[in-house]
């Protein structure tokens, strides 16, 4: 198996005015294709920042990052946007569905960036909704769906363009235990049966248990379970 994600000495700092805030201070990381990795750590440790770099939403300020065999360092914003639309599915804590669109149309959104016909888009969106078990809610607006259902729609949206990598930032952070377990089960299915590589940020140890591997972060670095820098 080849590496889905490789980070070498990855750094990210933000500049607020004159002040430089180091957020990631040298991340070395390798995630295999088909892995399901949970990323844990205290608030502010840089989990989201790392996830955003892996998802190609932002540029690192140092080090190297390679995702799916592609070097993200050299890509400009436009290239990154195209790359994301083809290779990464995003799942957010608050689902980030568009409130005016029904489930079907929300799921179809990423396909607008493809050359698929309208009919084919609708068909693929329907399939994605079936995978997440919401085929019967296709015409519902997000406001007419429960939190768990909304997250399922969001997962369908992340799936629909068939990316190899799913990045999830606290996907169960806003859900009750039972619903969270369902969503985690769904992610496991996507990992095991559909071969998606999944990186999931979570604060929930029970959620992390569902992953194949767990990584811990602290103060911008990856650490072992015991808190030792790796």
Ligand X SMILES: Nc1ncnc2c1ncn2[C@@H]1O[C@H](COP(=O)(O)OP(=O)(O)OP(=O)(O)O)[C@@H](O)[C@H]1O
Binding residues (CB under 8 A) for another protein: these are 48-49, 52, 55, 57-58, 78, 81-82, 84-86, 90, 92, 94, 96, 98-101, 109-110, 112-113, 157
**How many Cα atoms are found within 13 Å in the side-chain-facing hemisphere of 183?**
32
Instruction: Check if the beta carbon of residue 29 is closer than 8 Å to that of residue 215.
Output: yes
| 55 contact choice in another protein, ligand X, Mg ion, none (CB below 5 to 8 Å, kind-dependent) | another protein
Quote the DSSP letter at residue 29: E
Residue 57 found at the interface with ligand X (CB under 6 A): no
Residue 48 found at the interface with Mg ion (CB under 5 A): yes
Q: Which residue has the tokens 């946007």?
A: 81
Residue 46 found at the interface with ligand X (CB under 6 A): yes
- Return the SS3 of 202: coil
Which window, 43-51, 80-88, 139-147, 179-187, contacts ligand X (CB under 6 A)? Answer: 43-51
Q: Which of residues 139-198 bind Mg ion (CB under 5 A)?
A: none
Q: How far is CA 131 from CA 14, 84, 127, 155, 164, in A?
A: 39, 22, 6, 9, 16
Q: Which residue of the chain is nearest ligand X when measured via CB?
A: 48
Q: Kindly list the strands in the beta sheet with 36-40, ordered across the sheet, starting from the edge strand earlier in the chain.
A: 88-91, 165-169, 197-201, 36-40, 213-218, 221-223
Residue 202 found at the interface with ligand X (CB under 6 A): no
Query: What phi and psi values does residue 29 have, to the nearest 5 degrees?
Result: -155, 140
Min CB(190)–another protein separation in Å: 18
| Residue of the chain from 14, 28, 79, 117 that contacts ligand X (CB under 6 A) | 14
Q: Which residues of this chain interact with ligand X, rule CB under 6 A?
A: 14, 16, 21, 23, 41, 43-49
């Amino acid at each position: 198996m080849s590496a889905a994600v490789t980070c070498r000495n990855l750094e990210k700092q933000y500049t607020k005015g004159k002040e430089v805030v180091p957020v990631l201070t040298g991340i070395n990381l390798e995630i295999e294709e088909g892995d399901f990795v949970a990323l844990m750590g205290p608030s502010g440790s840089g989990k989201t920042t790392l996830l955003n770099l892996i998802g190609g939403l932002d540029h690192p300020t140092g080090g190297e990052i390679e995702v799916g065999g592609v070097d993200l360092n050299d890509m400009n914003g436009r290239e990154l946007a195209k790359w994301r639309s083809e290779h990464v599915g995003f799942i957010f804590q608050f689902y980030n569905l568009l409130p005016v669109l029904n489930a079907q149309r929300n799921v179809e959104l990423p396909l607008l960036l493809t050359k698929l016909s309208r009919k084919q888009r609708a068909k693929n969106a329907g399939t994605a909704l079936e995978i997440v078990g919401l085929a019967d809610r296709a015409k519902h607006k997000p406001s007419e769906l429960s939190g768990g259902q909304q997250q399922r729609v969001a997962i369908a949206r992340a799936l629909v363009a068939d990316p190899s990598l799913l990045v999830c930032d606290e996907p169960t952070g806003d859900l009750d235990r039972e619903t969270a377990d369902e969503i985690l089960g769904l992610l496991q299915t996507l990992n095991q049966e559909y071969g998606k590589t999944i990186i999931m940020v979570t604060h929930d140890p029970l959620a992390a248990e569902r992953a194949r591997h767990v990584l811990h972060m602290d103060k911008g670095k990856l650490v072992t379970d015991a808190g030792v820098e790796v």
